[in-house]
Amino acid sequence: MPTKVENWKDEVYGNEIREHLMEFAEQGWDAIPEDEHDAWFERFKWWGLYHQRSGQESYFMMRIGTPNGVIKPGQLEVIGEVAKEYATGPVDNPEFGEAYCDWTTRQSIQLHWIKLEDIPEIFEKLEAVGLGTQQACGDSWRNIVGCPVAGKDKHEHVDAWPVAEDLHETFKGNDDYSNLPRKWKVAIAGCDEGCGQGDINDLAFEPAEKDGELGFNVRIGGGLSRKEPRLARDIDVWVPPEQAADVAHGMSSLFRDYGDREDRFNARIKFLMDEWGPEKMRSVLQEEYVDFELPTAGEDMRDQYSYNTGSQDGHNDHVGIHEQNDGNYYIGLNVLVGRMGADDVLELAELADEYGSGEVRLTQRQNIIVTDVPEENLDAFTSEPLLENYSPDPSPFMRGSIACTGTEYCSLSIVETKNRQVRYARWLKDNVELPEDHKDFHIHLSGCTASCAQPQIADVSLRGMKTRKDGEPVEALDIGLGGGLGDDPRFADWVEMRVPADEVPGAIKNLVNNFEDAREGGETFRDFVADRDEETLAEMVEPEETDYHDPYMHNTKMTWYPYAEDDDMQSSPAPTDGSGEPLPSDD
Amino acid sequence: MTTDVHQLDDGAWISVNDSREVNVSDLWLLARSDFCGCETTDLLAEGFVEVGVDYLDIQARIAGQCISCGESGVTDWLTVGRVVDPDSGEFHGVVHESVHFPAKRTRLASPKE
């Protein structure tokens, strides 16, 4: 029997949702019939709007999908203006102020505290410069990810940007693919560094050569969500760039038709891959969904991958100053936990215009890249005061930090994340020395098993949990070690569970010290973990209270907003009207 | 009125009559449960796997972990609250910190059509 969500989607879904959304926005929050809230909020996701968590009713998270993370000249300024004007909530965030943008691990943008009534104006402003929220969430083609410097990278073999753009144009708003059983995540990259992160996507195009021609090998069924992480599997298909859209059509149609619509927990294509295996996946694709002979896989470049490999050699991310293929430079700026104040966004837009082409790009490590900077502008640009906070040469602990949204706004999360990870990074920077040969050390904090911070592919993986301390429930984290990508990708081993959140920095300090003492020769952290059993590793993680102070140990999910002076759920102003004034309660 | 119950957002919460009523991340104490070997299971609710109605009671099976012993799994059916006024649909959640007794279910969560 189809799920309720499927029934709602059968009634209204895809492009047609917009008309209803605009009507509701014009009439105000109260216009959404109370007994249709769940159905409409599920549908609004398709237009990039996610109803915020309990206690924040009537406010939405808005996600803007920027394919491949490319923000064209003129767009960043509008993003900053929209954030400043519309993404201000009832209470400021103590670390980030009143309005900010989140750069996500899928090269998208998230704004919070968006009011329904403001959506038409926001859409108008975004669409005027070619930005949009369509299919940023919901059961459809999501934002396409890839190498963030596609088209500019010296390590590139195939320029994947026009292919990504073509896929975006072909599959966004296309009614044939607008109602899939679940989300559909696609990655495409043409460089030899592996920064497309194809291994954790539903459909991945990776650079490969076949008979002297450059194109892509195809992998299917990766993903990290729940406690079921999967690496995408090779289906032995190579495709030239001009036929990538045909294979993408075939695979997303196959998913549309064969994906499980009766159990949303089993709907992602990784579960169909579990059931079928790569050979059947290939044969069904060939026989039912493409009208040309699929070539077998070409020779890939995975043995050259350096991105997130823990090798401490080559590109592990895009932070820093790097020469482009045209002689200009791109400068990757570190954005701690991906959150940037709206005023800073506006200032960066000006700087990108002044020193570069005005284009910026988002990475899958929640950072931002300013592209097309001529060599003669480098000194002046990197001397700008803004770059003191968004450094191209940050501490490894600042550089390696990723955090999801957490209980600040998200229904799924178990713990507070972004502000906590900011505090962790600062404390680690001041108190922990990595071995000199370790410049990259990734710590990812995800509030729950949905894994939006991609914890399984970090050196140190943190996942939201609870425990009791002195009998009282407190926020805690499971600690995993040794995850990463590359030719031989590996998910973290979860070695120490339910560590009180205020003991995690001490645990990481002890771990790093124990690693330095016990490592053999030039052993990298990732190899060190791979070569030891879980018990040995668990002994090296010694949770300990330190002078680190964690203000979020209580159950932040029980608050209406964790940083409000009066955070009691009953004190929430929500739901509010279009001007932010509380609406009368039915009680 | 009929009572409409479902779990949404990957089981992050239970909706009763289009109102978010029961959330993940709370701790539930379970007694006489075969979830784990602990005398009392100190269960962190990580997701609602199934929801159902036993007349006025709203029930759910919760995916989670005992934070005392670390055992993970899915509970038997637990009463998570009650529609106290079927006419208005008014719902009162149980106090999750109290002790609960999960039960095997003998009727279908969703009646056959």
Average pLDDT over residues A181-205: 97
Is the predicted pLDDT of residue B110 greater than 70, yes or no? no
Task: Go through A358-373 and write b for each residue having 16 or more CB atoms within 10 A of its CB, e for each that does not.
Answer: bbbbbbbbbbbbbbbb
Report domain extents, chain A. 4-128, 150-304, 320-392, 399-554
Is the predicted pLDDT of residue A401 greater than 80, yes or no? yes
Q: Is the dihedral of CA A67, A73, A76, A77 positive or negative?
A: negative
Are the C-beta atoms of residues A253 and A176 closer than 8 Å to each other? yes
What whole-number percentage of chain B has pLDDT above 70? 90
Cα(A95)–Cα(A423) distance, rounded to whole angstroms? Answer: 9
- Residues of chain B with C-beta less than 8 angstroms from the C-beta of A413: 25
- Residues of chain B with C-beta less than 8 angstroms from the C-beta of A411: 9, 12-13, 20, 23-24
What integer pLDDT is reported at residue B106 of this predicted model?
A: 53
Which residue does chain A place closest to B3, by CA atoms?
Answer: A35
Is the predicted pLDDT of residue A586 greater than 70, yes or no? no
Digit-coded pLDDT (tens) for A512-563 = 999 999 999 899 999 999 999 999 999 999 999 999 999 999 889 999 999 9
Q: Mean pLDDT, chain A, as a whole number?
A: 96
Instruction: At B36, list the tokens.
Output: 């784990």
Nearby residues of A377 by Cβ (< 8 Å), 6 or more positions away: A355, A356
Q: Which of B10, B13, B18 sits opposite A54 (nearest CB)?
A: B13
For the ranges A399-403, B71-75, B97-101, the lowest mean pLDDT is seen at B97-101
Q: Which helix (H) or strand (E) holds B60?
A: strand B57-66
Is the predicted pLDDT of residue A587 greater than 60, yes or no? no
Q: Which of B4, B8, B25 to probe the A interface (max A CBs under 10 A)?
A: B25
- Residues of chain B with C-beta less than 8 angstroms from the C-beta of A497: 70
Digit-coded pLDDT (tens) for A253-309 = 999 999 999 999 999 999 999 999 999 999 999 999 999 999 999 999 999 999 999
Which residues of chain B have a Cβ shorter than 8 Å from any chain A Cβ? Answer: 4, 6, 8-13, 15, 17-20, 23-27, 42, 44, 46-47, 49, 65, 67, 70, 72, 110, 113
Contact criterion met (CB < 8 Å) for A37 and B26: no
Cα(B64)–Cα(A299) distance, rounded to whole angstroms? Answer: 43
**A587 vs B: CB within 8 A:** no
Is the predicted pLDDT of residue A82 greater than 60, yes or no? yes
Q: Which of A9, A35, A38 to probe the B interface (max B CBs under 10 A)?
A: A38
Is the predicted pLDDT of residue A142 greater than 70, yes or no? yes
Given pLDDT bands bounded at 50, 70 and 90, which one contains residue B109?
low
Which of residues B47 and B99 earns the better pLDDT score? B47
> A213 in helix, strand or coil?
strand
Domain A4-128 falls under CATH 3.30.565.10: no
> B45 in helix, strand or coil?
strand
Domain A320-392 falls under CATH 3.30.70.3340: yes
What integer pLDDT is reported at residue B98 of this predicted model?
A: 85
Which residue does chain B place closest to A587, by CA atoms?
Answer: B90
Q: Can you give the three-state secondary structure of A95-111, one letter per residue? A: CCECCEEEECCCCEEEE
What integer pLDDT is reported at residue A312 of this predicted model?
A: 86
What integer pLDDT is reported at residue A316 of this predicted model?
A: 87
Digit-coded pLDDT (tens) for A343-363 = 999 999 999 999 999 999 999
Are the C-beta atoms of residues A541 and A571 closer than 8 Å to each other? no
Is the predicted pLDDT of residue A236 greater than 80, yes or no? yes
Is the predicted pLDDT of residue B113 greater than 80, yes or no? no
Name the CATH superfamily for A150-304: Sulfite Reductase Hemoprotein, domain 1 (3.30.413.10)
Neighbours of A63 (CB within 10 A): 24
Is the predicted pLDDT of residue A93 greater than 60, yes or no? yes
Query: How close B24 comes to chain A (CA, Å)?
Result: 7
Contact criterion met (CB < 8 Å) for B65 and A465: yes
Q: Mean pLDDT, chain B, as a whole number?
A: 87
Cross-strand partners of A331: A321, A370
Give the DSSP per-residue string, A500-553: EGGGHHHHHHHHHHHHHHH--TT--HHHHHHTS-HHHHHHH------S---TT-
Are the C-beta atoms of residues A411 and B13 closer than 8 Å to each other? yes
Name the CATH superfamily for A399-554: Sulfite Reductase Hemoprotein, domain 1 (3.30.413.10)
Query: How close A498 comes to chain B (CA, Å)?
Result: 7
What whole-number percentage of chain A has pLDDT above 70? 99
Is the predicted pLDDT of residue B90 greater than 90, yes or no? no
Complex prediction ipTM? 0.90
Query: How close B25 comes to chain A (CA, Å)?
Result: 5
Are the C-beta atoms of residues A315 and A148 closer than 8 Å to each other? no
What integer pLDDT is reported at residue B96 of this predicted model?
A: 84
Is the predicted pLDDT of residue A491 greater than 80, yes or no? yes
Average pLDDT over residues A45-68: 97
What integer pLDDT is reported at residue B107 of this predicted model?
A: 53
**A488 vs B: CB within 8 A:** no
Would A150-304 and A399-554 be classified into the same CATH topology?
yes
Digit-coded pLDDT (tens) for A413-455 = 999 999 999 999 999 999 999 999 999 999 999 999 999 999 9
